[in-house]
Each structure stands twice: as C-alpha cells, then as structure tokens.
Structure 1
Amino acid sequence: MKPTMFTTTAGLALCLGAGAALAQEVTLTVESWRSEDQAIWNDTLIPAFEEKHPDINIEFTPTAPTEYNAALNARLEGGTAGDLVTCRSFDGSLPLFNKGQLADISDLDGLSNFPDFARAAWSTDDGASTFCVPMASVIHGFIYNADAFAELGLEEPETVDEFFAVLDAIKEDGSYIPLAMGSADQWEAATMAYTNIGPNYWKGEEGRQALIDGTAAFTDPQFVAPYEQMVRWTDYMGPAYQAQGYSDSQNLFTLGRAAIYPAGSWEITGFTEAADFEMGAFPPPVQNAGDTCYISDHTDIGLGMNAATDHPEAARTFLEWVASPEFAELYTNALPGFFSLSDAQFEVDNPLAQEFIEFRENCESTVRVASQILSRGEPNTWNNMWVLSANVLNDAATPEEATAELQQGLASWYEPQQN
C-alpha cells in the first residue's frame, strides 16, 4: 500500500528525533585536588579526548588540595559530586568504594595496560575489585645543581659513602649549602627523607609487606637505619634548618644557594621554570656497590567513576581513554614529574623527568611504607611518621626512640603487630 503523506512525514520526524537522541551531547565533570593542572586539562587533555568523542564534553572542576577530601565527601554524600573522581591512592579512596560511592571498574579493558602494583593502589585488599584507573606516580630521589657539581668536580654518588663524600666536599668548599632540607613543616622529613632513602634498607616491597604481615617491626634494624643516616644529614642542612619550611628549601635550591635537594619528582616543572642552571638527578644511594637499588615510585593519582553518575557509559568511555597509551604519553609530558603507570612506551620530553623515569630501569619500585593498611587506625602511622621524622632531624628523638614510638602506635591498634 502506498504510504500517505502523513505517514511519511511522521516517520521522518520519528527518525530525525531518534537520530537527535543518539547524538545528544553529554557533559562529564571531573573532581580533582590538583587545581594547578587546570591549563593542562583545558589545553591538552580535554581537546585530545573530545576530538575523538565530540559527543562527550569534559569539564575539569578542581578544589583546593587542603579542602578536597572534605568537599568531595560532602558532595558525594549530598549527591552533587562530579561524574569522575580523582582518587588518592590506597586508603585515600578505598573508603569511598566501600561506601558504594565509587563504581567497580574491574572489567574495564584498559586496566590490562597496568602492572599489578599500580592497580593495587586502587583495589580492595584482596584484589577482587578495582575502582580507579591508575594515572601517575611520583618518584623520589635527589635533584642536584649540575653546574655546581661540574664546578667542584663532583660526580653523582652511587653508595652512601660516596654520598657523604660529596656532601663533605660541598661543605668544605663553602659556596653552597650541601642539602636543601628543613624540618619545620615535618612532612618533608617523612616524605623526602625517611621514605626516600628507607627502601634501600628495608628492601622495598619486601619490608613493607613484612610490616603488614606482622613479620617485621619498625624497631628492626632495617627501619632504624634510615633514621641513623638522617641524623648525619643534619651536618649539611645549613644553619637554622629547624625553622626552614618547604618553600624555603625550594627557594634555596632554585636560587643556586644549595647544591642537592632531596626530592619528589613533582618539583620538576617548578624547578625547570625557576632555576637558571643545569640540573641532574640520582636515585637514593645504596649501602654497598652492587646492591639492588630501591626507589619510592609512589602511586599518587588515579581516576574513578562516581557510582551515582547519570552518565555511566560516557564515564567509562573516558576512563578507557585515561587507561590508553595516548593519555599516558600526553599526561607524562604535559606534567613532567608525574609519570604514567602504564606499560606504554613513549619518549619523555623533559630531560630531568627522563632521568627520574630511568630510575625504574635499574631500581625496584615500592610505595611509601605506611600508605596501605598501616595508617587506618589511631594513631595514624603516616601522620606519626611526619612528627617523629622531624624529631629525629631536630635531635628531639633518637632513631631508636622514633621507631619505638612508631611501633608502639601501630601495635596499639593493628592486630598483626600484636603477636
């Protein structure tokens, strides 16, 4: 039967309507604490994704780092959080998954691009569920003024003895403060000192897992020894280091007044912009030549899906892209010092960042020793480590006293350490 004009017109309208529905644009918002990354997202990451997915718009909506946790929790509880959530590692995000606020993305194809240790930072303790795509880690080591080293005829140290020989030479020359490190803000003492050099003593993951299993204690020699090395640092940290804050140490180094900076790789972008001298990097020196090198290659940032998003398919599409080799290369080069955890192979543009990422070729990777499980109770082991590490540097506690207090605090609530 020949269709009437009414039938043809109505059918056409229905088809057009269906096509419009299929092509309807979706806007996804991304929660983050890294407000300093706004330009990187707006200028690099979002355009690259939207070029391939013109029907999905991305809005990066960060919160100040000090306010992020509280603000995100409030928005998740109130149903106003973004579609995608930037995830802190381990116990920073696991409670959100346990409360049903982050979706289980274990079946995301792109997760196969990441090694087990990277996925573990955003998985349940038993590894059964993964709730965030690993985005990047930060690597610890030492950044040095290469011009100063050349001037003084110094080479990168490989052993602890060589490290202190370099510090002695710098101190004897007198042109530079050997180590740009202070203790006023406490967290640097734990992050850029104790958990920077510590893995070489407790053998990285072997020692960390032994603390979790209860087969090792903070009072064991391998956990006391890093503090003993830190006590020696204080002869090289300059006058009044006890009153020296984080930004003071940054300025001492970038102004060329200090030769070596105990570092996290997140400093690379700022240092590259601020310093007018050549820089180099070396991993934490080992105790003896030929020893296995261990680095804190800390799983720092991931991205998950709000379980209550109205756009789960679009959110999963974006997460698949975040798990891709394309994102790995873009993110690593747009934000030098934040290194993709993906197995993807690509060139790193920033020379100093390339030096840091090469640590992975010769050293075994681990994460900060108290980041998983060991800081779930009170006293919080990681926070305790801030205070006690600063106390060691300030001669307010001996290495033995500091580790005894760490152990006592952990054993007060953590059953495997109560045997």
Structure 2
Amino acid sequence: MSKKSVMCKVLVAAAVAGSIGVATAAPVVLTIESWRNDDLPMWRDQIIPVFEKRHPDIKVKFMPMAPTEYNAALNSKLEAGTAGDLISCRPFDGSLQLYQKGRLASLNSLKGMDNFTPVAKTAWSTDDGKAAFCVPIASVIHGFIYNKDAFDKTGVKPPVTVDEFFAALAKFKAAGSYVPLAMGTKDGWETASMGYQNIGPNYYKGEEGRKALIAGKAKLTDAQWVEPLRVLARWKPYLGEGFESQTYPDSQNLFTLGRAAIYPAGSWEIPGFEKQARFKLGVFPAPVKKAGDKCYVSDHPDIGLGLNAKSPNAAQARIFLEWVASPEFAGLYANALPGFFSLNKTPVELKNALAREFVGWRGKCESTIRPTYQILSRGTPDLEGQFWNAGSAVINGSVTPEAAAQKLQKGLDGWYKPAK
C-alpha cells in the first residue's frame, strides 16, 4: 500500500472518529429549582422545547417542589452543594439574602438585562440598585374578579367608587342568591394580600406612600394607612357564613362553584378560575374613594430566575438566562400563564381577555408594589406577618382599625430605624 493511501485511510478514520464524538457528545443538562409546581406542564411542553430547539447542546429540566417547602429545601440544597443550576427567585429579601451569602451570582453583565427598567429589577437588586442577581420574569396584579352572570341577574354594575362597591355588596346581600364577597380570615395572608394590599394603594398613594413609610416620613397610624383597615372592617357583613374558619381554597371553591358574586383577587387566579367556573368572569380594579380620583394598582413583582453561584454549568446557564431576558420568552411565558405579566420593556400581546383587562390598568392607574415586601419585613416582628394578623383581626371585629394600626407601628418601631 502506498504511503499516500495509508495517509488517506488515517485521515478518513480520524474524520469518522471525530464525527462520532460530536454525534455522541451528551448535551449539558440544566436544572431549574422552583416553587411553582403547578407550572410544570407549561415549562415542559411550551417553554423549554423552544429553547432546546435553538440550543440542541443544552437540555433543561424544570424541577419544582411544594411552595411551602421551597425556601427551607432550597437553602439546604445550596448549603450541601446539590441545588440546581438555575434558581427561581421570590421577590425582595429572601433572594437578596441568597445573593449576600454568595448563593446567587451577579447578573449585571448578562446580555438582555437592559431589557428591564430599574423599577422592574428592584425586587432582585441590592438596596442601592448596583447589583442585579435575578432576571425579572413576571408580576401579578391585584383587583376583583366577579361573576358576570350574578351581576346581570341581580342588576349590579362593576363598581368604580367605594360607595358603589358597598352598594353592590348590599344589593347582593338583600337578594340572597349569592355570598357578596368570597374571602375568609383563617389564612391571614389572604386578608393582607387580597384585602389590604389590594385596596390600600388608593389611600396611601402607592409608591409615594410606600417610600414615605420606608423613609420614616409616614407612620402606619397616619390616616392614609388606617383608612384601608376601616374599609376592610366594613367587609364583615358581606362575607360568607363561618368566614372566620374559611381557608383560601375554601374561598376559591365558594367562588368557582357559583355561590359568590365577587372574589378579592390576584391575577394569578385566571387560569384556574377559567378552567373551573361555569359562568362568565369579569374584573374590576380596587375602587377609588370618589369618582375622578387618581387610581393606584398593586402590580407586584412575583418571580425571577437566578444563577446558582456554584453551578458547574454556569456558561450554559447564562445562555438560558439571556433567553429568559428576551422578548421572545416574555411573550411565551405571559401567554402560557395568563395573569403573570411580563416585566420586559417590550410590550407583549396577550391572548387572554381577562389578562388584557388586568394589565390594561397599568395604562390607567399608577403601579405600586406591596408595601411590606421591601426592607420593612427584615426584622422581628416582620411587617408582612403583622399585616396577616391585623387584616384578619379587623375583619373579625376583634380589634379596631385604630388599635391594629397602633400595634403595626409599635412592632415596626421595635426594630426598624429609618436611614437618615
């Protein structure tokens, strides 16, 4: 055999070996940690396949756990070095602490982070805004979901003002066919989130009031913070029988079974309610004090995605995060999960009618975040937990709004000293 033939065979063998190596190289597998266990089908069937088609060398697994177990389990896995590459980030302090402990990597240099405003990044940035550690994904908006059939049958129109709201509740109570308001007080977060933090911004003027509280220029005993508690106290006669022992799932069932007219809500209820309810749904924002008043809406950052600082696949994880920061992902996510609204600067065309109504309030009202989530729940007692107790106690009638406000402020004063 000639020397030339031998060389050709060697080159062919090398080429074949190389092609086999490329073909059989296993793709890198990224794992996403999350508390959103209801979202598994969406990620698996609608979102991840789009990314993997573009990046066949990277596979992604969405590995959720029970929401109530997430924080503790995630911390344990991070401590043991067994956590996934990508970490679903709850807003504000919990994720901030992970970053401060070196568990989450800085994403300042990540391509696509300029697709978000500083406000959108607030929930996943240091207090000074200099370091961002999670890609913002979505926010949720508060308001009221109502049974359109019940409204038509009873002759009630969606209320705009507080007086109209209570007139509607009174009409439903008088008619007797529906529980006017589907909410209980057993799960305190319900009265805080869908109660106080839903209606409160129209009284303390959203971000203006929230920032004044953080700065120490306002107190929870001021009129604009007490008034929402007084309004909540007026809800009591319109709740269902035994509301004191009614849980969050009880409230959901009461409404979706068609037994209640109005549900104090978060936009996250849209997919479940549309699947379960056998009646037409409508939505309206928190009523203003009087016609013509400027309106404020709780538009709260809910979920982001960060990079495990010790991920062995950081380069591939950053490629995935760059895609999560893209307008394409924003559109996919917002339409796959109606009621979770993109924080990306690029507008998303929403297919779901109720979701469009909720997000439409952004153009009519001023957006704000829940007042207890940034800074004010870092001490003991934490303000968010205090509001859980305060909202339920006020509605139950076991404490006056004024006394509840005093207790809230006293608890805050016990540990929080505003920066001067």
TM-score (norm 1): 0.95
Of 175, 187, 198, the match for 1:173: 175
Alpha-carbon offset, residue 267 of structure 1: 0.9
Q: Which residue of 2 aligns with 1:140?
A: 142
Q: Which residue of 2 aligns with 1:202?
A: 204
Of 350, 372, 376, the match for 1:374: 376
Of 158, 161, 167, the match for 1:159: 161
- Alpha carbons of structure 1 residues 384 and 28: separation in structure 2 relative to 1, 3 Å: same
Q: Distance in 1 between matches of 2:8 and 2:104?
A: 49
Unaligned runs of 5+ in 2: none
Secondary structure, counterpart of 1:263 in structure 2:
strand
Unaligned runs of 5+ in 1: none
Of 130, 137, 142, the match for 2:132: 130
Of 301, 304, 313, the match for 1:302: 304
Secondary structure, counterpart of 1:189 in structure 2:
helix
Q: Does 1:325 align with 2:324?
A: no
Q: Does 1:99 align with 2:101?
A: yes
Q: Distance in 2 between matches of 1:407 and 1:190?
A: 16
Q: Does 1:214 align with 2:216?
A: yes
Alpha-carbon offset, residue 109 of structure 1: 2.4
Secondary structure, counterpart of 1:337 in structure 2:
coil
Q: Structure 1: which amino acid aligns with 2:227?
A: A
Q: Structure 2: which amino acid aligns with 1:299?
A: P
Q: Structure 2: which amino acid aligns with 1:362?
A: K
Q: Does 1:398 align with 2:400?
A: yes
Q: Structure 2: which amino acid aligns with 1:277?
A: F
1:21-66 residue CA offsets vs partner (Å, 9 max, x unmatched): 9975211000000111110011001101111111110001111111
**What aligned pairs does 1:263-274 form with structure 2 within 5 A after superposition?**
263-274=265-276
Q: Alignment identity in percent?
A: 57
Q: Which residue of 1 aligns with 2:244?
A: 242
Q: Distance in 2 between matches of 1:133 and 1:3?
A: 57
- Alpha carbons of structure 1 residues 5 and 74: separation in structure 2 relative to 1, 3 Å: same
Alpha-carbon offset, residue 238 of structure 1: 2.5
Q: Which residue of 2 aligns with 1:40?
A: 42
Secondary structure, counterpart of 1:416 in structure 2:
coil
1:58-101 residue CA offsets vs partner (Å, 9 max, x unmatched): 00111111111111001101111000000000002000000111
Q: Which residue of 2 aligns with 1:110?
A: 112
Alpha-carbon offset, residue 382 of structure 1: 0.5
Q: Distance in 2 between matches of 1:272 and 1:344?
A: 27
Q: Distance in 2 between matches of 1:239 and 1:289?
A: 32
Q: Distance in 2 between matches of 1:291 and 1:122?
A: 32
1:173-212 residue CA offsets vs partner (Å, 9 max, x unmatched): 1111111111011110101000110011111111111111
1:136-170 residue CA offsets vs partner (Å, 9 max, x unmatched): 11110000001111122221111111111111111
Alignment: residue pair count: 418
Q: Structure 2: which amino acid aligns with 1:367?
A: I
Secondary structure, counterpart of 1:29 in structure 2:
strand
Find runs of 4+ consecutive structure 1 residues off by over 3 angstroms: 1-4, 6-15, 17-24
Q: Structure 1: which amino acid aligns with 2:130?
A: A
Q: Distance in 1 between matches of 2:43 and 2:252?
A: 26
Of 355, 358, 361, the match for 1:359: 361
Q: Structure 2: which amino acid aligns with 1:291?
A: D
